[in-house]
Amino acid sequence: MINMCYIVGLIIKRRKAERPQFGGVNKMNSNYFGVEFDDVNTDDGGHKWSQICKSCVEQSHVPNEMIRDPGSGICGVDGCSNEADYYIDFPDSLEIGFFPDRIMVKNLAHLKRLLADKGQFIFVEHQKVECIGQLRKGNVIQTNGLYSIRPDAMDSKESNWNQGKGSWMDYGKASLWKFKDGICSRYKDTKRSKEDLVFSFFVLPKTN
Ligand SMILES: [Zn+2]
């Protein structure tokens, strides 16, 4: 007797394989916004997209602005074989595309050390939607916060705010932060509810 799981597995494999490969790279895992996607596509305009199921949206830090419904096919999140509920558009500013790794930041003191030591970070959520996907790097480091610039966009307004120091990020108290799975989230108040999120980012491992 043929095992049903085997058949379902075959169907899933076939449906994933039918989609075009991302940027000609044989995708292993593409880490977007702290979520591993194994199925990222590029449309004719060069915009990257995938599809995602409800439960993966709920468990992840994927910004709501990126979600479009309805979506179909198999969820593009690695290890998930649910039917997708939405399409997900990745920001075009996200040139880097792949984040194979990120530092598992433990607490605010750890984060401050990393950023003072030239750590680069990428916003995965931000109240200013245009900041989502931006790569940042500390330029002027203070104990209470830092001015960050965009190393890949030195002409941008973010790199030039505050007389060229960059855009200001205030650390605030440790109780305004949450650190989970390498995602560093800063909230407006200590209740740290989703509505009070100011921004989230993750820190890239040092390359040199
Ligand atoms: Zn899923």
In the structure encoding, which two tokens stand for residue 24, read together?
A: 């000609």
Distance 76 CA to ligand 1 centre (A): 7
Q: Which residues lie across from 152 on neighbouring strands?
A: none
Distance 80 CA to ligand 1 centre (A): 5
Distance 121 CA to ligand 1 centre (A): 26
Predicted local distance difference test score (pLDDT) of residue 30 = 61
CA distances from 135 to 110, 122, 124, 154 (A): 19, 5, 10, 11
CA 208 to CA 205: how far, in whole Å? 9
Distance 56 CA to ligand 1 centre (A): 4
Q: Which of 97, 41, 90, 40 is nearest to 65 (CA)?
A: 90
Predicted local distance difference test score (pLDDT) of residue 133 = 77
Distance 84 CA to ligand 1 centre (A): 7
Predicted local distance difference test score (pLDDT) of residue 84 = 94
pLDDT of the chain, 208 residues: tens digit per residue? 444 444 444 344 434 433 333 333 333 346 566 677 888 888 888 777 889 999 988 877 666 667 887 888 899 988 899 999 999 887 654 433 444 468 889 999 999 999 999 899 988 888 887 887 788 999 999 999 999 999 989 999 999 999 999 999 999 999 999 998 788 999 999 999 888 989 989 898 887 6
CA 15 to CA 17: how far, in whole Å? 5
CA 64 to CA 57: how far, in whole Å? 9
Predicted local distance difference test score (pLDDT) of residue 154 = 95
Distance 180 CA to ligand 1 centre (A): 19
Predicted local distance difference test score (pLDDT) of residue 32 = 66
Whether the Cβ atoms of residue 35 and residue 77 lie closer than 8 Å to each other: yes
Q: Which of 60, 46, 124, 56 is nearest to 92 (CA)?
A: 46
Predicted local distance difference test score (pLDDT) of residue 111 = 97
Which residue, chain included where needed, has tokens 């505050």? 162
The DSSP 8-state label assigned to residue 91 in this structure reads: P
Distance 102 CA to ligand 1 centre (A): 21
Whether the Cβ atoms of residue 102 and residue 34 lie closer than 8 Å to each other: yes
